Chain A
C-alpha cells in the first residue's frame, strides 16, 4: 500500500487512463467521447513526464562557465544550484558517473510533439462533430445510428 502512495504519479496515470477510455466507450455523446479521448491522451503525457523526472534532479539547462553577470567587485550576481546543473565549466550535460543530477529532457520534448498531435486530433474531431450536427441535427450517437439504419433500408440511390 505504501508503495502505491510513494508512486502516486503512476496511480494518477492509471486512473486517468482508465477514466478516459471508459468515457470514450460508455458515452454516446460525440463531444463527451472527445473529452474522454483527451483525458486518455493526457494520461500518457503524464506517464512520459513521470518517467523523465529524476528525484532531486535539476532542470537540464546548459550554462556558460561564468555566472550570468558580475558586479563591480567581480562577485557573481547569480549563484545557486541551478547554475551548476550542467556541471562546472562544461557546455555539455554531464555524462554517466557525474554527481550532478538532472532530469531527462528527452521525454519532455517528445511530449511537446504528442501534445501537438493531440490538439490536432481534437480539432479534427470537433470539426467533424460540427459537420455531423449540421447534417444530422444531433450529436447523440444512438440517434445518428438510427438515422443511418433507416437510410440504409431506403437504399443509397440519392
Chain B
C-alpha cells in the first residue's frame, strides 16, 4: 500500500479536502449542462471526462481513507449533527470506487451501444439522465444524513426510470417495465422515508452517527424504532430486489438500453445493499433483539428462498438478459445471507460478493449487449455458434460466466468460499449446502448457453453460414477489463478481501 499512497501526492490538496462534495456536485452540475448540449459526440466525450474524473477522485479518496481513517466533510461548514455531513469510511469508500469505476466502464461501452439503441436527438438527454443517476448513487452512498439518503435515492431512481424507458426505441416493453419499476420503486422509497420519519420521532436527529448513539443510549428504543426498522428494511428490500420484492427487476434489466442494464446491474442494487448494511449494523445494531430477529428471519429467510427460486427461474428463461436478471436476484440472496449470519467474517463475505458480483454482472451484460449489437440476438437459443462467430466476446462471457458459477481462480470462487466458510464457522451447515446447490443451478443456466455457443455450428441465414463478426473494440475493452478484473481478484484477492474485512470490522468490531 505505501506505493499506492504516493499517488496521493499527485492529487491537489483541494481534491482531498473537498473531494466528497466534489464527487456528487460535479455529475449533478454536468447533468444540467449536458441536457442542453446540442451535439451528441460532445455529450459522450464530456460524460467520459466527467466519469474519469469521478473515478480518479473516488480512488484518491479511498486511498486517503485507508491512510488517515474516517473523514467527515461538513457541508457548507455546518457542523453535524445539525448540518449535513459527508462521511467517507472503510464501508463506503470501496462502494464509491465501484460506482465511479462502473460508470466509466459503462460510458466506454455506451459509445457504440447508444449509437445503435438511442435516437440521435435523445443521446444528450440520455447522458444527462445517466450522470444524474451517477450523482444520486454516489450521493446516497457518501452522505451521513438519513433524509439526504432518501433525496439521493430518489434522484437516482427517477433518472433510472427515464433511462429504462429509453429502451422503448428498441423494444416497446421497456415502457411497461419502466412504469412497473416506477410504481414499485416509489413505494420502496416511500416506505424508506416513513422509516426515517419514525427514526426521527424516536431519536430527534437525522444524522446517522447521532441516531446510532441515541439508539444505543435507549438500548434499541421503543416500538417506534422497531417499526422504523421494519419500514426501512422493506423499503430498501424493494430497491435491492430482495425476493419476493424483485418483480420489477427482470423487466427493467431485460428491456432497458444495454448500457443502462450494465450500469443498473452493477451499481443500483449494490448501493441499496450498502444502505441496508449501513442501517442494520451502523444505525441499528444486531445486539437489539428485533434487529437480530429481522436479520435471521427476513434477510436470511428471503435471501435463501430467493437464491433457490430465482436460480430455478433463471434456468427456464428463454431471453438471455432475463436469465441474468433472475441470476442477479439469486446473487443478491448470497449477499443477504452473508449479512444475515451477522458475524464479521460473513458480513465481509457478503460485502466481497457485492463488489465481485458488480464486476461479473457488468461484464456479462456488456457481452450480451455486444451480441445484440452485432446479431440482434437476445434469446438463448440464438447463441449457437457464437464461439466461432464472436470468439473474443464469447471468451469474456465464458470467463465471467465461470466466475458467476464460482470456478476456482475467479472472483466468484473467492467470495463463495469466504461465504461458505463463514457460514460453516457459524455452524450454519445447511447454508453451505444451499450455496453449493445454487452454484450447481448457476452451472446449469450458464452451461446451457456455453454448450450452445461452443458445440453448435453457426446458423445459416439465407443459405449462407454466418461468418465471424467480432464486437467493436470499444465494447471489447470494457468487457475484458471486467473479465480480467474478475480473474485478477480470483488469483490475488488480498486487496479486495482486505477492504471487505475492514468494512465488516467497522460495522461489527474486530473478531
Q: Which residues of A contact B (CB under 8 A)?
A: 21, 24, 30, 33-34, 37, 40-41, 44, 47-48, 51, 106-107, 110, 113-114, 117, 120-121, 124-125, 128-129, 131-132, 135-136, 141, 144-145, 148, 151, 155-158
- A24, A30, A132, A158: the one within 8 Å of B187 (CB): A24
- B147, B162, B168, B186: the one within 8 Å of A110 (CB): B147
B123 to chain A, nearest CB (A): 18
Of all chain B residues, which has the CB nearest A48? B197
Interface: B404 (CB within 8 A) = no
**Is the pair A148, B154 in contact by a Cβ cutoff of 8 Å?**
no
**Is the pair A156, B182 in contact by a Cβ cutoff of 8 Å?**
no
CB neighbours of A129 from chain B (8 A):
179
**Is the pair A131, B173 in contact by a Cβ cutoff of 8 Å?**
no
Residue of A47, A51, A117 most packed against chain B (CB within 10 A): A117
**Chain B 186-198 per-residue mask, 1 if CB under 8 angstroms from chain A, else 0:** 1101100110010
**Is the pair B176, A132 in contact by a Cβ cutoff of 8 Å?**
yes
CB neighbours of B147 from chain A (8 A):
110, 113
Q: Within the assembled complex, what's the spacing in Å between the Cα atoms of A144 and B178? A: 13
- B154, B162, B171, B183: the one within 8 Å of A156 (CB): B171
Given contacts A37-B186, A128-B165, contact A44 B194 (CB under 8 A): yes
Of all chain B residues, which has the CB nearest A158? B171
| Extra contacts besides A51-B197, A125-B186, A128-B182 (10): CB < 8 Å | A30-B179, A47-B194, A117-B151, A117-B158, A121-B154, A124-B182, A125-B183, A128-B161, A129-B179, A141-B176
B219 to chain A, nearest CB (A): 22
Given contacts A113-B151, A132-B179, contact A121 B172 (CB under 8 A): no
Q: Which residues of B contact A (CB under 8 A)?
A: 147, 150-151, 154, 158, 161-162, 165, 168, 171-173, 175-176, 178-179, 182-183, 186-187, 189-190, 193-194, 197, 200-201, 206, 319, 376, 378-379
A-side interface mostly = helix
**Is the pair A107, B175 in contact by a Cβ cutoff of 8 Å?**
no
Q: Within the assembled complex, what's the spacing in Å between the Cα atoms of A129 and B158? A: 15
Q: Within the assembled complex, what's the spacing in Å between the Cα atoms of A131 and B166? A: 11
Q: Within the assembled complex, what's the spacing in Å between the Cα atoms of A156 and B376? A: 9
Q: Within the assembled complex, what's the spacing in Å between the Cα atoms of A145 and B179? A: 13
| A-B pairs with beta carbons under 8 Å apart, 7 shown | A51-B200, A106-B206, A120-B158, A124-B162, A129-B179, A144-B176, A145-B176
Q: Within the assembled complex, what's the spacing in Å between the Cα atoms of A144 and B177? A: 11
Of all chain A residues, which has the CB nearest B182? A125
A14 to chain B, nearest CB (A): 11
Q: Within the assembled complex, what's the spacing in Å between the Cα atoms of A41 and B161? A: 18
B344 to chain A, nearest CB (A): 35
Given contacts A51-B201, A128-B178, contact A136 B186 (CB under 8 A): no
**Is the pair B186, A156 in contact by a Cβ cutoff of 8 Å?**
no
B105 to chain A, nearest CB (A): 26
**Is the pair B182, A151 in contact by a Cβ cutoff of 8 Å?**
no
- B175, B187, B201: the one within 8 Å of A21 (CB): B187
Of all chain A residues, which has the CB nearest B201? A51
